[in-house]
Structure 1
């Protein structure tokens, strides 16, 4: 048959306990709850870190945006799809993160591909990516013409060595981009933002950070990595802590102008919903002023760490993400199923999302959880992992 590798590869996934399938949440998200096949669970796999999804004020702003501008942009931004709602949101983001310009994208994956492919049009471009960078960053980098190097996770010394080595053997000027994540999605640890910024500046490189899991959660007003240093280019998604949909890039005026003219992902994509843009303005307003949401995540995270048994291998983190390393894929799936029987939804993360023999439970603690939820979660994990 045509494309006979399809069935072969699916069967291989099943044999390796790496098979994936969709599950349908059959009710509107209400904070920490999720409904699968008619059963209620406490959700510890959501990226709704600040508990803003389904917030009444954001929902009201969404309806207002739909009434003012419509649900659909109906065109790309460079035709007639760029609405006042988009411009107003971009201005708010620039003010929030203290950046000159901002561009909106339909997703973080699209924004990452756009940036790396636009800056990687020449073999004179050099990209340096953290080993644990997101798949979209890796895809964007390797599908460009740039020379790509990967440095060991959060290892500033190795990055310095790679930068020095490329400078030593380069005969002409090279355009250097250092790329990492503000908070790494699968283990929750933070990038060494200040050191990366200092090194990039000293090496005349640009620093690019994917702040998808940092924006809203890290910083006094949820500014993410830009709270710690002046980041040349920041990408952040709006479908996680911000509680809406889409993504944005912040950058210099010159890079903004370049992307508008040469980024195929931006030029040939329909603009995000103006109603969503209007709702996102309200969400950012709440994020900046409601500090208690970030404080609650910290308090519950401390409690969770304290309650886990000594034999539970927890990755140290200061974010919303808490990775419990299981190792074997089958065992990770088994623990996840045990927790479901106790009314806890906690997805097992397996290769290729993470490295072989590092399957894990990715616990996300959100502002919508409470002490009782955390105590129940810790107790059930301790029983399931023996």
Structure 2
């Protein structure tokens, strides 16, 4: 019988406690999530700045629909590149102090689209070991040489670069790592890239909006990062993504990135709403300050026996280790009205299953104390 391996692999997923299922969420409102007629405190959202359902962004979306419609109706190279897209790209360029920006439908398509466009025999990619799946898949999609260095181990990266055999080298990392919440050393990476005449590419999906006085992400630490990708579906609270770069790479992607050329452009109404969100992010520094304050409270409130990876971001990874144990703890928390997803391999390395806590600007001190109290009870 054809495709018998499908059922076999699903059975294996269940046996190893790695089986995944979707759950239909009725709505998300501020720090709460509603599922199966129950209300939960949501600590798994990537709405870091608490901007989802912001009235000004909602109004901008409605205005965008009235002005441009919901759909862009075609790819950007046919008739899909609208005034709304142009305005957003210019806003992003000014915000990040980059010459050009290009919009994509998702962070996955942006990462994969750029790396696959560069993945030729003349190029070598150097990826942090904990790079996102979209970066790994994009790097491996063509004929480029690919080498991964140990997570944030820049001494090893330098040693590897000394042995490089090609002139075109791209160092790839994340500003804030999605599952650990720790940061790359942007200045160290930029110096290494400059020393070895390489380009530096950063996935800033979890940095944008959070890092920097105006939420500019990694470029607020070092403005000389060559290429930045970030998504709108997290702190920006809309959807889509962008790549910020120089004019030559911008034009190259328009001509050679299949993900850009052959995809219907992102909704112009979403672009219009995103422009409003970026405006709010730049001026509402209190949102970033609140995340930092609540994060300090959370770390202080956990028992000493709980292993949490050090972070200065919204992401707090509590390492459990075993898949079944992480699922059991998540269920105990759910019974207490806390929605906290257990993250298991292959999303994270074997033996590092975890609770991925995200602290957002719409949480309060009482929420954090309640979470810490119940985690302390669940992990013993």
Partner residue, 1:88: 87
- Partner of 1:96: helix, strand, or coil? helix
Quote how far apart the aligned CAs of 1:174 are.
2.0
Instruction: Give distance in 1, aligned partners of 2:268 and 2:174.
Output: 28
Q: How far, CA to CA, are the matches of 1:219 and 1:151 in structure 2?
A: 27
> Where does residue 109 of structure 1 map in the other structure?
108
Match of 2:220 among 227, 239, 242: 227
Aligned counterparts of 2:80 and 2:122: Cα–Cα separation in 1 = 34
Equivalent residue, structure 2, for 1:196: 189
Quote the residue 1:174 is aligned against. 167
**Aligned ranges 1:1-386 → 2 under 5 Å:** 1-27=1-27, 29-120=28-119, 122-166=120-164, 170=165, 173-229=166-222, 230-386=224-380
Mapped to 1, the partners of 2:308 and 2:250 lie a distance apart of 40
**Alignment deviations for residues 303-323 of structure 1 (CA, whole Å, 9 cap, x no partner):** 000000001101100000000
**How far does residue 2 in structure 1 lie from its aligned partner after superposition?**
1.5
TM norm structure 2 = 0.99
**1: CA distance, partners of 2:160 / 2:214:** 35
Runs of 5+ consecutive residues of structure 1 not aligned to the other structure: none
Deviation readout 1:85-110 (Å, 9 max, x if unpaired): 00000000000000000000000000
Separation (CA, whole Å) in 2 of partners of 1:61 and 1:36? 28
The separation in 2 between residues aligned to 1:84 and 1:15, in whole angstroms, is 52
SS in 2 for 1:165: coil
For 1:31 and 1:180, the matched residues in 2 are separated by 31
Residues in 2 aligned to 1:216 and 1:145: alpha-carbon distance in whole angstroms: 35
1:137 aligns to what SS in structure 2?
A: helix
Distance in structure 2 (CA, Å) of the matches to 1:3 and 1:234 = 40
Runs of 4 or more, structure 1, over 4 Å off, are none
Question: For the residues of structure 1 that align with 2:118 and 2:307, how far apart are their CA atoms?
Answer: 39
Q: Aligned partners of 1:238 and 1:9: how far apart in 2?
A: 34
Query: Over residues 5-39 of structure 1, what are the superposed CA-to-partner deviations in whole Å (9 max), with x where a residue is unaligned?
Result: 10000000000000000001112x21111011110
Rounded to whole Å, the distance in 1 between the matches of 2:236 and 2:200 is 23
> What value does the CA root-mean-square deviation take over the aligned residues?
0.6
State how far apart, in whole Å, the 2-side matches of 1:227 and 1:113 are: 25
Alignment size in residue pairs = 379
Q: Tell me how far apart the structure 2 counterparts of residues 349 and 124 of structure 1 sit (CA, whole Å).
A: 37
In 2, the alpha carbon distance for the partners of 1:242 and 1:144 equals: 32
| CA distance, structure 2, for counterparts of residue 145 and residue 215 of structure 1 | 31
- In structure 2, distance between residues paired with 1:213 and 1:102: 18
The alpha-carbon deviation at position 175 of structure 1 amounts to 0.4
* In structure 1, C-alpha distance between the alignment counterparts of 2:160 and 2:38, rounded to whole Å: 51
Which residues of structure 2 form unaligned runs of 5+? none
